[in-house]
Structure 1
Amino acid sequence: MTAAGPARAHRLPEEALRALAGGGGGPEAVRALAAIRYSRDRLLATALVELARRSGHPQAGAARQAYRALAEIERVAPEAVRWVLSYPVVGNWLAATVRALLRPAGAPVAPSALGQVAAAAAVRAGVTTRVPAAGPLLVLPSLGQVWLPGDEPVVEVRAGPDGPVMRRGGHRVPLTRSGDPPDDPRRPWAPLHRISTGSAPLRLAVTLDGPGWRLATGDGPDPRLLPQVGPAEHRRWRRRCSAGWALLSRHHQAVAGEVAAAVRVLAPLRAAPDGLVSGTFRDAFGAVAMSLPPDATALAVTLAHEVQHAKMAALMSAFRLTEPGRDDRFYAPWRDDPRPLGALLHGTYAHLGVAAFWRRQRRVEEHPDAAFAAQVAFARWRAAAWEATEALARTGRLTEAGELVLDGMRGTLQEFLAEPVPAAARRRADALAAGHRRRSGTAG
């Protein structure tokens, strides 16, 4: 891994962009977006080291040492470095750290945490290296966390016939044991849970990662994230993922293909009093945060929703979709608070995906109540997304690429709006929309 040499240019074919604009794209388009984000994260790693040096950060030397270790690992095991650098937690940390280093008096940052990224790459590569590491609790992105006490500012990752070992001074922690991550963070080695369900090419393979977000900048990880998932909770997640993925891959294969290509991490959130909560991270492509869904359908529609957000975040990092202007706020039919232009575009694209999910799901529900609810949801969200596209069109602040995305969304939604929905379901959807407007204080 080096900063030398020509930068790779990424091109997204127009047909792929048009497919994405319409709400789809498929696994190949998702992988193209992931490649763009990976190149961005490599550049961020280089920028982090240089910015730490220019700012005179006390950890600048340690960051440079970690970067050199990554470069050495990449020479012998490039896929191990790619895997770790493209891990969503790492992208999130790199972006936040670089932003903080660019601010004269930003939040406290630890660029030396790049050493933990290098350590994870070394473990995956099966190589021996030495990396900087401050503090006893070390996060190894995509793998787990290690409790390794001692005063030495450097730890050693040593490969061996029985698996990797981490050393600091007289302390030694083998990383070969599997099993359930312990609740006590001072246990020497806590591997992350993994969930795998389905079969290729529609296979969901994710890491259940709450502890990894300790690799954070400033005030630390979002307090809504669960710091640890115990054995019983892991079993519940595994069962829910298996059932939800079976539904998604059976009845929503196009979406399942995109999710399989995009999502690598599920970040468990604390349960919310008003039901399921979920979200994505602007700089963590491939991570979906959610509380434990109540059933298979909830998990499936949440993944369909959040993969849309992931695609839009990647599109926005590759193309400028909106023009700068006044800090206007716009009514969003899915939020109680008005949203800025970029957030409205994001939410519209996500709810296009939600409408598409219910469009298909209404045809496969067997119980009359569930079928009616699916019809209502389809009518509700196709109308809401269409209403938002009209607001977007009126702003006059979309770029050429943004207009292409808007046209794609409107073309798909016009097809949805032409489909018949039972009158009772339409009336219920209209009543829900009107109720939302009243609660948000927006005139009809």
Structure 2
Amino acid sequence: MNQQLLSRISDRSAVVGIIGQGYVGLPLALVFEEAGFTVRGFDLDPKKVDALNRGESYIRHIGGDRVKASIARGRFVATTDFDQLRECDAILICVPTPLGTHREPDLSYIHNTAKAIAPRLRKGQLVVLESTTYPGTTDEEVLPILETTGLRCPDDFLLAFSPEREDPGNAHFNTKTIPKVVGGVNDASTEAAVALYAAGVDKVVPVSSARVAESSKLLENVFRSINIALVNELKITFDRMGINVWEVIEAAKTKPFGFTPFYPGPGLGGHCIPLDPFYLSWKASEFGMWTRFIELAGEVNTSMPRYVVGKVADALNDAQKSVKGSRILVLGLSYKENIDDDRESPSYELIEYLQDKGAHVDYCDPYFPHARHGRRHSLNLSSVPCDNATFRNYDALLVSTAHAQFKDASLYAGVPLVIDTRNIVKASPAGPVTVVRA
């Protein structure tokens, strides 16, 4: 069975199915299509499926021309028909793994997807989970669901884990060039998964098991979460001392070894860092281990929006105004600069906290004409124009995202107060009266 699959991967006759056509699944589908494979992109959202089949991209950094070219070549088709999974030789799972109300892992998307695959599973298929999760999920959660069919791994089908490593908007790395870690639940599964990804991406890194692959992704994100928390805590400390943390970082990063710069902000955003470390801390408790670094970093990072709102209140107070009744404009809904990705963005919390204090809050973001309705937030707001005439109508601007559009100094001429969490606004005679670093 394995040799037949390897042969189909080698000659590009294998059909690759990718479940989830979002920020992870869509670029992965395009990479495999561009490598010569026939690809089926599965999604529950008919609007996404229809857009893709028209050759349109709903993700800004994935150009519509690229989608249109893949559709035109006839090898990529998007569908809501999960029965077509039977036609696929490889099935890659790219679905969300959010946190529950009490920061516990929510594996419902993984469970539901595995249950959707099971009745369509056939001999000779390779299934790969890409969704970030705690060590053991592939073996303990996905495998038993797939084996309810009576098929067994590796005799009848193969199963592996390969963590997604997407970084939307990164101009230096993309799905094809980022090394792909791959670990199977057994050697045969690893071999097949390595062969598949090697046919589409530049470098594959095999590891000894799915658990190691799952753990590697968590280590990457725990590392970032802890270091961001450290620099956020130092920002607050240095602020009390009257020291500019941004200048401190610039000085420290001149050291050519032993230091990696991380930067403070108004809170954590994105699909990984605010969520993934808690998957590991939850799983660790099963083994009687308490991941204090992870919990402390989470405490610091989740407190940042409230800290920033406190800085806004202090700055307005110094200007003899209160938060209540003030007109405040938040610059940026995206969790990072120059992309249309607002998942877990701290901007939503900033807006809601300010509204709770009685402020009249608007936002400006050229990537979001209208604020999306999410799992936790529903603002019912639309973006105001990004121009000086609009900005001057507000008592204070709060910079939450470092979009390139917000770096134009002329935008801030005559603006009375700017609270800048990203260090992009420079005070000048033509600029705002006051710039507060927060």
- Shorter-chain TM-score: what band? under 0.3
Name the structure with the higher helix share.
1
Higher relative contact order (CA 8 A, sep 6+): 1
TM-score by length of 1: 0.27
